[in-house]
Amino acid sequence: MDFSLQTIVFLFLATVIIVCSILTVTTRKILRAATYLLFVLFSTAGIYFQINYSFLGAVQLLIYAGGITVLYVFSILLTYSQRKKGDRLKSSKVVAGLTATLAGLGLCLFITLTHPFTPSHFEFGELDIKTIGFSLMGMGKYQYVLPFEVISILLLACIIGGILIARRR
Amino acid sequence: MNFLSLYVLIPLLMLGALWACRNTRQIRGVMAAGSSALLILSIALVFLYIAGRRAGNTDSMLFTADTVWYAPLNIHYSTGVDGISVAMLLLSSVIVFTGTFASWKMSYQTKEYFLWYSLLSMGVFGFFISTDLFAMFMFYEIALIPMYLLIGIWGSGRKEYSAMKLTLMLMGGSAFLLSGILGIYFGSGATTMNILEIAGLHNIPFDQQCIWFPVTFIGFGVLGALFPFHTWSPDGHASAPTAVSMLHAGVLMKLGGYGCFRIAMYLMPEAAGQLSWIFLILTGISVIYGAFSACVQTDLKYINAYSSVSHCGLVLFALLMMNATAATGAVLQMLSHGLMTALFFALIGMIYGRTHTRDIRELGGLMKIMPFLSVCYVIAGLANLGLPGLSGFVAEMTIFTGSFQHADPFHRTLTIIAAASIVITAVYILRLVGKILYGDPVNPQHLKLTDATWEERLSVICLITAVAGLGLAPWWISRMIGESVLPVISQMIP
Amino acid sequence: MKFTIFILLLPAFSFLLLALAGKRMKPAVAGGIGTAVSGIVTVLSCMTAFLYFGAPRLQDGTHAVLIPYNATWLPFTETLHIDMGILLDPISVMMLIVISTVSLMVHIYSFGYMKGEKGFQRYYAFLSLFTMSMLGLVVATNIFQMYAFWELVGVSSYLLIGFYYTRPAAIAASKKAFIVTRFADLGFLIGILVYGYYAGTYSFRPDMVALMSGGVAMLPLALGLMFVGGAGKSAMFPLHIWLPDAMEGPTPVSALIHAATMVVAGVYLVARMFPLYIGFAPGVLEAIGWTGAFTSLFAAVIACVQTDIKRVLAFSTISQIGFMITSLGVCTSLDPQQGGLGYMASMFHLFTHAMFKALLFLGAGSIIHAVHSNEMSKMGGLHKYMPVTHIVFLIACLSIAGIPVFSGFFSKDEILTACFGYSPLMGWFMTGVAAITAFYMFRLYFQIFWGRNPRYDHTPHESPATMTFPLVFLAAATCMAGFIPFGDFISSNGTAYHIHIDKITAAASIAAALMAIGLAALKYARTGPILPCGDDLPDSARGLFPALHKAASHRFYIDEIYQFITHKIIFACISRPIAWIDRHIVDGFFNALGWTALITGEEIRPMQSGHIQQYAIWFLGGALAITVLLLLI
Amino acid sequence: MNIPMEYYLAVSTIMMFAGIYGFLTRRNLLAMLISVELMLNSVDINFAVFNRFLFPGELEGFFFTVFAIGVSAAETAIAIAILINIYRNMRNIQVENINELNG
């Protein structure tokens, strides 16, 4: 592997993702966690861009980094209580969680790295937006109008549910 | 439906009538009427049965009837009696009758108490008249469940613990039993649940018998106080109220012996022959072990409970000897033990009701205070240790003679060991009688106590009459039973 | 002979009547009913005897065996069943006489002796029960009927020993009597079972077909085991321990049950099975004989040092039963001329012993009634106060000592002759025991009626007529019974046998007895003040054999051994551990099962905590576990 | 393109388990939600990467990622609505205190 720009970018993104993920779950301050999450989401968008899924990257940036994070920040501020100083963790829980996590991580990495994937040789072309649009709206094979509709109904249901739940009684 | 169903109908009617009762007088009236009706029915049944046999009817069961209940599983409500069940029905009705009078003064939640009591008796009667495996099992369960409430609510001492223990262990036995019954049903080709028909088919493969025989036998054996599954008995009996102890030791424990004979051994004779030695050893242990344990107990009811373990062990022991004489003896022993142990528990209950203690160290000189009860207690004790002229002798001698017909050393040794129990029985009975009845009163407060009331006298005298009647004129009932065990015995390999 | 059924039914009826309604009767009425029934039974028994022995003999010279009644009482198998019936043969008829007579005497005597006692009606009820059972025992047509009545006499003995049920000693004694005999009866029962299986019947005549097919070899075992039962009832060593304690019962009861009738049941049993013993188990019979001989010596030695008047008589009874057993044991054939003499001698001694021993006990009762004590040290010089009792007691003592004219001489002489016929050793041995008998009886006699005169609180007086009449009657019987031509009625093969006195044997035994009486007179007939040290029984033997004396007065520690076995071994080492095991191990196992279920539930319950993170960690763990499993497979 | 697929997968795995760790240990419900977002995100990366490297001609992974993003947005919205509601009632959103919901 030569140190092309691609590689450097990837290494940068990977480092940011790994470090920020870990910081997200270990920091005591919830607002910081949200901030680190934001970095992770940005870097993930970077990964998408890197593998030439720029539409996906854009969606990621818009919805995740733009929408959801803001939602988090708002709700954090809404539920912030002065009495609670940080998020103290129970050590037994940490040990159990850490053990399970590390074991799982080791196992998954082992499987991932030893599994003989057969990557096909492909051309890294940009996916044009027209193909995406037709696939999303088409009704044929490998076309996704049904899941699209299902998701839209789900979103509608969520909107209604969110309003209902959050409404003051 | 024939007149045997009256045995289920009368308790049902009693349940209904009790439900409608408003006061204690009415409740007592219903109970007295119902239990007398059952007693009269049983006596009539004995005469009808003997008349039927005299008339030359040689079917293995008389008065059979059959109603389809649930066709897909071949479950029928089928009834029928032979000499064994007639004897058991007579025993049960005597004890239900006397138990009613023994709990005449029950004051706490009287109505509920008698409701459960009637339900319990319905289960017992239903069990003895049924000839269908499933119906038997159902009635068996009906008889078990009220026991939990009767002990748990109306008991004394550690009643919750005892009730729980008794019910759980018997339920454990039921689990064995259910699988055994299913094993028999499917082993015989899943065509019928009727015991007589299964016995007629006689087609359960030997290897399957070897699985289901021990399962069924243990299932019933738990109720028959088979060592080491007897430990519910001392606690359960000690905590139960008087009439429940009577009914439980007198009748319910007989369900175990009856079931072992009628289901386990009748339907799986080859396995019974093959595996009898294991259970013979266990029952032999029961006999001796119960007797020795009884020697050092200090609670009256515990003594009697261990004595029951010993005597019921003798029942199963005799059944496993698998010859007609021993089996007749076993049924006689069931009768005899049922009557005497009910008598014992009735008397213990009456003594306890007066002195409020069952500890033999705190009792003494009762002969002076309550002569009637004490004399009856002595009679019960003498019956228990096998005095000729009372029922114990008849049963024990039949068993020992029957068992001794096996010429091999194994059976011989066990017979002699079992016979030795009569000496130990004498030891604990006489120790007990000497301690609590004779001597001078230990507790001066006991001097004020009164002797038995009329209903207690009625109950006790009725039982003593039965014990003495069986002991003085045993031939007719011995013949009646003897000819009924033959069909079962003839299935077995000696 | 159909009327014989009433011999059994009347006492049974009287028992039921007195037991159920006795409480509402006046004591005199209850006693009257019991005595009247007993009287009728005695008359019926005598009638039976007259008719039976009066009937012409069969051609072979024996009396016919009559079975007026026999019905199946409890069927077991085709061949085995308990019958209830009446069997009349010479010995059962003889026993009828003995039992009914002694019983009648005791009934009459008790009027005076038990006067004013609480439970008078109960006492007579028990006496009737005992009479019925004992009569049923002797007329049994089969061994199982005998066993059934055997148990019944055991229980009536238990009830009568424990008559004074508030006395701890009486309770303990009754319990002991019942349990010891019960233990022996276990042997009897097993013997019966063996006999039934191999002889193919419970009747006294074994089925020859069954016997031929292998049963002969087992008969000695069966007969030996039966004798264990007999030894228990008849208080043979080492099962004798209950009899001395049984003296806690009222004295008339001791006379009836523990001297004259029940305790000879073992002798009767052996006599009943005698043809079988001779025919199939001569070895067992020999062993029985030696057991009897040893017991008679053993009991006689102990009797010499007892101080309780009833205990002395009790040991004397054991010793005398030993004589009877020995006499049966030394028989070697069925022919009375050829070594079968012992059978007749034994039955004869049973008869005479019943009379004089009942007399002794009733006399002792009369003395106790007057002195209010059982201890010989509280007695002395009573010949002045109680002339009738004195005379009859002397007659009984002379009789048991074997002085001619009195009945005991004749029967004992026959026994000694039989023993000499068996072996000189046995003969001399038994003669020695007879001498000891004479010694201890006269030790008793002199101490009570002569000897030093203790200060009585109130002057002893002669007993009332209800008590002296039975004494006089029995004394007359004792004087006369020896002249009954007993051998004409009873002998080992049933034919008439003329009793003749063997001169040398008789001379030897009389000489020994007289010497023993002289020794006793020398030692005990002195008058003088009571020694202050409390050692008021001058016992020179103590100086000579201190160890023997001490052991004998402790009855050779047999009771202690039993005590040790029952309490230290059976109760402490078997019963208690078993009870403990039951509570803690067997029950503990089931409790542990329940406990495990409970604990498992308790352990599992927190898993359903509602904490999502906990669920998640289990979920993760599960997923990982499955993954690892899949990887490994 | 010379970066092997495994590299991406490794990164997403680490992210996934960081999320799991957070989910298991954090006491604040919001923090747990954030951890869930991490996990979802890592799955999204895997979808995209598998699609791109193994089946470049097709678009399943791509669209599933799109849908997953949509679903996670919806989920977050609802969850935060619930949280705020809980906060109103109980004045905190510590996970231990919320087991009263189970009846």
- Over the stretch C297-307, which tens digit does the pLDDT of each residue have? 888 888 888 77
pLDDT of the residue at C532? 37
Q: Is A96 on the interface with C (CB under 8 A)?
A: yes
Q: Which positions ≥6 away from C275 have C-beta within 8 Å?
A: C334
Segment C468-508, tens digit of pLDDT: 888 888 888 888 888 888 777 887 777 777 777 778 888 88
pLDDT of amino acid A2? 62
Could you tell me which CATH class the domain A1-81 is placed in?
Answer: mainly alpha
Question: In the predicted model, is pLDDT for residue A86 greater than 60?
Answer: no
Residues D22-62 pLDDT 10s: 988 888 888 888 999 999 999 999 999 888 888 877 888 88
Integer Cα distance of B129 and B134 in angstroms = 13
Query: What's the pLDDT at C346?
Result: 87
- Which of D24, D101, D102 comes nearest C613 by C-beta? D24
Check if the beta carbon of residue B475 is closer than 8 Å to that of residue C75: yes
Q: D–B contact (≥3 CB pairs within 8 Å)?
A: no
Quick one: average pLDDT of C35-50?
90
pLDDT at D77: 85
Q: Which residue of A has its CA nearest to D45?
A: A44
The per-residue pLDDT for D95 is 66
Query: What does C209-262 look like in DSSP terms, one character per residue?
Result: HHIIIIIGGGHHHHHHHHHHHHHHHTT-TTSTTHHHHGGGS-HHHHHIIIIISG
Distances (CA, A) of C323 to B124, C256, C317, C411: 59, 19, 10, 10
Q: What percent of chain C has pLDDT over 90?
A: 2
Q: Which two tokens stand for residue C174?
A: 């009754």
Phi, psi of C611 (to 5 degrees): -85, 115
**Which pLDDT band holds residue D100 (cuts at 50, 70, 90)?**
low
D97 to chain C: closest CA residue: C611
Domain membership of residue D102 (yes or no) is no
| pLDDT tens track for B84-141 | 899 999 999 999 999 888 888 877 888 888 888 899 999 999 999 988 888 899 999 8
Per domain, the residue ranges of chain B are 3-492
D76 domain residue, yes or no: yes
Of D95, D101, D102, the CB nearest to C613: D95
**Which is nearest to C201 in space by CA: C356, C70, C30, C78?**
C78
The pLDDT of residue D14 is above 90:
yes
Does an interface of 3+ CB pairs under 8 Å exist between A and B? no
Q: How far is D35 from chain C (nearest CA, A)?
A: 12
Closest-CA residue of chain C to A111: C631
Q: Is C84 helix (H, G, I), strand (E, B) or coil?
A: strand
pLDDT of B411 above 80:
yes
Task: Tell me: pLDDT of C541 over 80.
Answer: no
Confidence of residue C536 (pLDDT cuts 50, 70, 90): very low
Mean pLDDT, chain C, whole residue set: 83
Q: What is the pLDDT of residue C613?
A: 79
Q: Is D7 exposed, middle or buried (0-12, 13-18, 19+ CB in 10 A)?
A: middle
Tokens read off for C231: 């030894």
Residue in B with minimal Cα distance to C159? B378
Which chains form contacts with chain B, at 3 or more CB pairs under 8 Å? C
Q: Which value, to the nearest 10 degrees, does the dihedral of the CA atoms of residues D48, D51, D54, D58 take?
A: -160
Residue spans of the domains in chain A: they are: 1-81, 127-169
C609: contact with A, CB 8 A cutoff: no
Average pLDDT on C99-116 reads 87
pLDDT value at residue D97: 63
Mean pLDDT (chain D) is 83
Dihedral Cα A145, A149, A155, A160, nearest 10 deg: 170
CA distance, residue C590 to nearest chain A CA (Å) = 37
Give the model confidence (pLDDT) of C163-216 as tens digits. Answer: 888 888 888 888 888 888 888 889 999 998 888 888 888 888 877 777 777 777
Q: pLDDT over 90 for what percent of chain A?
A: 17
Q: Give the per-residue pLDDT at B290.
A: 87
Helix (H, G, I), strand (E, B) or coil at C511: helix
Residue B245 has pLDDT above 80, yes or no: yes
Look at B377-381, C61-65, D90-94 and tell me which has the smallest mean pLDDT: D90-94
Q: Read off the pLDDT of residues C374-384 as tens digits, 9 standing for 90 and up.
A: 777 777 777 77
Domain annotation covers residue D91:
yes
Under DSSP, the state recorded for B390 is S
- Give a yes or no: residue D47 inside a domain: yes
| Strands B75-81 vs B62-70: parallel, antiparallel or unpaired | antiparallel
A16, pLDDT greater than 90: yes
Q: Inform me whether the pLDDT recorded for C542 exceeds 60.
A: no
pLDDT per residue as tens digits for the range B14-70: 888 888 888 888 888 888 899 999 999 999 999 988 888 888 877 778 888 888 888
C208 inside 8 A of chain B by CB: no
Section C13-18 average pLDDT = 89
- Give the per-residue pLDDT at C453: 67
How far apart CA C121 and CA B39 sit, in angstroms, is 35
Give the integer Cα–Cα distance in Å for D103 and D94.
18
At B103, give phi and psi (nearest 5°): -105, 30
**D26-56 burial, b if ≥16 CB within 10 A, otherwise e?**
bbbbbbbbbbbbbbbbbbbbbbbbbbbbeeb
Domain with D85 in it: 5-97
Cβ of C617 under 8 Å from any chain D Cβ?
Answer: yes
The minimal CB distance from A107 to the residues C613, C617, C628 is found for C628
**For the segment B307-355, what is each residue's pLDDT rounded down to a tens digit?**
888 998 899 999 888 888 888 999 999 999 999 999 989 988 888 888 8
Find the CB nearest A100 among C620, C627, C631: C620
Residue C24 burial by CB count (10 A; 0-12/13-18/19+): exposed, middle or buried? exposed
DSSP annotation of C403 reads -
Asked if the model's pLDDT at residue A114 lies above 90, the reply is no
CATH of the domain at D89: 1.10.287.3510
Angle at A83 between CA A77 and CA A86, to 5 degrees: 70
pTM of the entire predicted model: 0.82
Closest residue in B to C186 (Cα) is: B420
Structure tokens at C16: 């039921």
Angle, vertex CA C108, rays to CA C104 and CA C109, nearest 5: 115
Say whether pLDDT at C67 is over 90.
Answer: no
pLDDT, residue B359, reads 85
Res C539 pLDDT > 70 = no
pLDDT tier, A121 (very low <50, low <70, confident <90, very high otherwise): low
Q: What is the mean pLDDT of residues C331-336?
A: 79
Residue C533 banded pLDDT, cuts 50, 70, 90: very low
Tens-digit pLDDT profile for residues B183-201: 888 888 878 888 888 888 8
Q: Which of A25, A107, A108, A109 to probe by mutation at the C interface, max C CB count within 10 Å?
A: A107
Mean pLDDT, all residues of chain B: 87
CB B308 within 8 A of CB B233: yes
Q: Which class for B137: exposed (0-12), middle (13-18), buried (19 or more C-beta within 10 A)?
A: buried
Q: Do A100 and C617 touch (CB under 8 A)?
A: yes
Please give the tally of structural domains in chain D: 1
Distance, CA of B343 to CA of B21 (rounded, Å): 29
Of all residues in chain B, the percent with pLDDT exceeding 70 is: 99
